[in-house]
Chains A and B, each alone.
Chain A
Amino acid sequence: MGAGALTCLMFVVVALNAIAAAAGLALFAVAIWVAVDGYKLYPISGVSGKDDIFAAAWIAIFTGFAFFLTCIFGIFAALKRSRALMMVYLIIMFIIFLFECASAITAATNRDYLVGNSNLVKKQMLQYYGQDSIQGKQITQTWNRVMEQVECCGADSPEDWILYNSTFKQIYPTYNWPLSCCKRLSSFELQDPAGCKVGLTSTLFTKGCFNYIESVLSRYTWAVSWYGFSVLMLVFFTLVIAMIYFMQLE
């Protein structure tokens, strides 16, 4: 290979590594956003033991930062035209590639278990809302906040509370649904306690909360999974070019 073509290839490798380093740093930042859980919906996945979306986010934090560092090392190795350094770079990048694959696949798969349909969220709500255990308190707090902020009641509708037996029904048999389902005034008092108790549709929230929960967890998942996938495609392309460059060295 001529010297000019080799130099051109070196610059391509350097440029792709620079882009991959930036993408890895962005993946690091996005994964931190998911792990911090600004919407505070972690208990819904944590209580049922299916919190792999957040586990995948933690893996993505480490792999994103590792991509960043290794790509900078790759720039250095390419400029130095050293075979040994390029070999080290390729091996490390391949290992990080495998971990990031695991993260993206885990997040996408786990999302289907959690919010494929409303059954798991509904069953968890009926079982744990109002219960006196640690999980019960977490779920109660989470659902109260979601119902009040998003203005919804139950998983699909308030009828979930009437159709199914629940811990809440055992503890408070005279109430059809929790008071968080009722509309409130700006002073946080109930707008119409008696109307809400019998189900007057103008005094309580009638839409279900599942759409909101599903949209938030999907947002987390696609942040880790789709963005991780796109970074991996870029890294795949970079590694193929780097391997060609390696073969042309010396």
Chain B
Amino acid sequence: MKNSLPSLQLLLIGVDSYLPGILLSTDTSQVDFYSRIYLHPCYKMKTNTVISLMSLMSIWMWTGEGQIFQPELTSNAFLAKVTSNTVILKQPYCVFNQPCPGCEIWLVAGLCSANGTFDALVNSSTTNILSLSPYPTAFNPSSNNFFLTRVGLLSDFPCNQYPNDRYFVVGADGICSGVNCNGVLPDGSTVCFKYLLIDANRTLINSSNWSGNITLPKLLPLQTIYDGLSARSGAMVVITTILCVAAALLLLLFLIMLCVTCCRPTKKDSKQISVMNSIRIPRYDTHNLKERVHPYDNPAYQSDLKNYSTSSTLPKNGARKL
């Protein structure tokens, strides 16, 4: 909810003059304000005035130029706006509009469960609140679960400027060891923030509201990423099956071919030309006419003798046509 701060304070003073019973408190929470009006015995007498004042105030509330009274996340679209241990907030322009020379704005950052703890400690203790909970031990199991860190001088955040792109990184110092250093938040926790106005003597002047709950995402460990096989692509299945089938088919054809060629049945003999290796030609002069010409050889068979008796006339390969 956006308030117009100067007008609220004016209204407080104005109402106070009509209803003297109301105590002006430094706690400017609206619930307290309303309850004090409604429960006061003078309420009924000044109802009309109060109602008109309230309507005026509500109009002021909704037409305010956007002054914040609590820490807010930056409106920029940063990718690291909320990480597991850092948060990026808007800079505290126009949060505290009172004149306060030398004052500084400090930030309380801690688990949302420690909001009450901090408020109680601030109200009760009078010691230096800045060293209430040093950062190095702030988030130990039995510690206060908050820490304070300096944002800047009040004069650096005047109300007449309102740059929306300025930001402040909570956790920018990493894991640091100073009492009030800007260290990282616990991983994955729910955190709340509050601005404090601290003067030069280190006393608390004013404080803003608590911000809304900001839940930090938990950091996922590497081992949660499952890097096994996700799915088989269609191309791989096609290639594998077709190649396996082709190889098997090839082997099969190869074996069939070997069987066919090596174990060929004898009916194939007609393709081959059998070699005649000896022809018996009757010789009638074996016993008595060896040295001379043999007159009893029939000259009609001379050409046949040449054809079938010497190797030069025998056919060499089966494919040559005779």
Contact = CB atoms under 8 A, between A and B. Distances in A.
Interface of A: 3, 90, 94, 97-98, 101, 104-105, 108-109, 111-113, 116-117, 119-120, 122-124, 126-127, 158-159, 162-166, 173-174, 176, 197-201, 204, 206, 222, 225-226, 229, 232-233, 236, 239-240, 243, 246-247, 250
Given A97-B247, A112-B232, A116-B230, A246 B257 contact: yes
A165 B219 contact: yes
Given A240-B253, A247-B257, A108 B220 contact: no
Contact of A199 (B78, B222, B249): B78
A105 B79 contact: no
B225 A122 contact: yes
B235 A108 contact: yes
A164 B225 contact: yes
Given A116-B229, A158-B79, A198-B88, 6 more contacts: A94-B254, A101-B243, A105-B236, A108-B236, A108-B239, A240-B253
A211 to B, nearest CB: 16
A147 B173 CA distance: 27
A108 B250 contact: no
Nearest to B77: A201
A110 B18 CA distance: 84
B69 to A, nearest CB: 24
B175 interface: yes
B257 A101 contact: no
Contacts, number: 135
B296 interface: no
Nearest to B272: A250
Nearest to B224: A164
Contacts of B33: none
A229 B246 CA distance: 11
Contacts of A197: 80
Nearest to B74: A198
Contacts of B219: 163-165
Given A165-B221, A165-B222, A198 B233 contact: no
B79 to A, nearest CB: 3
A163 B230 contact: no
Would you call the interface of chain A mostly helix, strand, loop, or mixed? helix
A112 B229 CA distance: 7
Contact of B222 (A166, A200, A204): A166
A109 B318 contact: no
Contacts of B167: 198
**What bracket does the count of chain B residues touching chain A fall in?**
35 or more
Given A90-B254, A165-B221, A173 B243 contact: no
B239 A104 contact: yes
Contact of A247 (B83, B233, B246, B260): B260
Given A94-B250, A174-B172, A247-B260, A162 B239 contact: no
A119 B84 contact: no
Contact of A162 (B84, B222, B230): B84
Contact of B229 (A90, A113, A162, A239): A113
Contacts of A236: 246, 249-250
Given A163-B220, A165-B221, A120 B250 contact: no
Interface of B: 76-81, 83-84, 88, 167, 169, 172-175, 184, 217, 219-222, 224-227, 229-233, 235-236, 239-240, 242-244, 246-247, 249-251, 253-254, 257, 260-261, 318-319
A57 B102 CA distance: 72
Contacts of B244: 101, 105
B220 A229 contact: no
A50 to B, nearest CB: 10
A42 B260 CA distance: 50
Contacts of B88: 198
Nearest to A172: B174
8 contacts: A94-B250, A108-B236, A111-B236, A119-B230, A124-B227, A162-B84, A176-B83, A236-B246
Contacts of A104: 239, 243
B250 A162 contact: no
A243 B232 CA distance: 36
Q: Which 7 A-B pairs have the closest CB atoms?
A: A199-B79, A199-B80, A108-B236, A120-B227, A116-B230, A199-B78, A123-B225
A204 B80 CA distance: 12
B222 A164 contact: yes
Contacts of A199: 78-81
A179 to B, nearest CB: 14
A13 B219 CA distance: 66
A206 B78 CA distance: 11
A239 B222 contact: no
Contacts of B217: 163
Given A164-B221, A247-B261, A198 B251 contact: no
Most chain A Cβ neighbours within 10 Å, of B80, B84, B174, B231 = B80
